[in-house]
Amino acid sequence: MHFLITVGGTREYIDPVRFIANASSGKMGYALACAALKAGHKVTLISASDLQPPVGMDFVGVESAQDMFNAVKKFFTKCDCLIMAAAVADYAPVRPAKTKIRRTPRYLTLKLKPTPDILKWAGTHKKKNQAVVGFALEDKKLRERAERKLKDKNLDMIIANRPAAIGVDKSTVEIKIHKCKWLKLPKVSKATIAKKIISLAGSI
């Protein structure tokens, strides 16, 4: 199979030196890429992470949500399975400043616009022989909100976890394939989680 995997947290620039970002480390996405490689699959990695890319896969570096969207659209038709492990920013500045914003005693108001919904686009444009896998990071109503995302974005599988999973090497995740029961993996390494996700994705 050919896996297209997105990783890391995007950066949405306010001015040339400041940006809106999130706490995503990219560890889960890189674990997925390594697991797919070890299983003998081809991998294209679209990364907004500062982590060193694993050897043996096609690598595409991006920064913003729009960059990531452009890259996904470019490579999507060539893959069998897209796994959107990246933490894509939901909003970006409407008009980033062309020069550094100077500090003043006054309040600063930023006007933000929604970024492209990459996962929904992929779920809408996938072909019969393609699978789309998403992640849902939720602090409340984990399964309920994850199932809604699975349905609304026309996904084949979703991995649900909580904010405590960010940046750590071990975490608890819950996995649901469309029309199947939930599977819970309690407090295991991201390498173990990744191996399971790749195995399940290959059977969809």
Going by DSSP bridges, is the β-strand pair 19-20/81-84 parallel, antiparallel, or unpaired? unpaired
| The pLDDT of residue 180 | 94
| The pLDDT of residue 91 | 96
All domains of the chain in start order, with CATH: 2-201 (3.40.50.10300)
Whole-angstrom distance, CA of residue 137 vs CA of residue 163: 6
| The pLDDT of residue 191 | 95
| The pLDDT of residue 16 | 96
For tokens 């173990």, name the residue: 192
| The pLDDT of residue 167 | 78
| The pLDDT of residue 25 | 86
* DSSP code string of the chain: -EEEEEESB--EESSSS-EE-----SHHHHHHHHHHHHTT-EEEEEE-S-SPPPTTSEEEE--SHHHHHHHHHHHGGG-SEEEE-SB--SEEESS--SSPPPP-SS-----EEEPP-HHHHHHHH--TT-EEEEEEE-SSSHHHHHHHHHHHTT-SEEEEE-GGGTT-SEEEEEEEETTS--EEEEEEEHHHHHHHHHHHHTT-
Q: How far is residue 185 from each of residues 2, 64, 161, measured CA to CA in Å? A: 25, 31, 10
Q: Which residues of the chain have pLDDT under 70?
A: none
Q: What is the pTM of this model?
A: 0.94
Report yes or no: 151 and 177 within 8 Å, Cβ to Cβ: no
Q: Is 161 a catalytic residue?
A: no
| The pLDDT of residue 203 | 86
From the list 22, 70, 129, 154, the catalytic residue is 22
| The pLDDT of residue 130 | 97
Whole-angstrom distance, CA of residue 51 vs CA of residue 24: 11
Instruction: List the structure tokens of 113.
Output: 């616009």
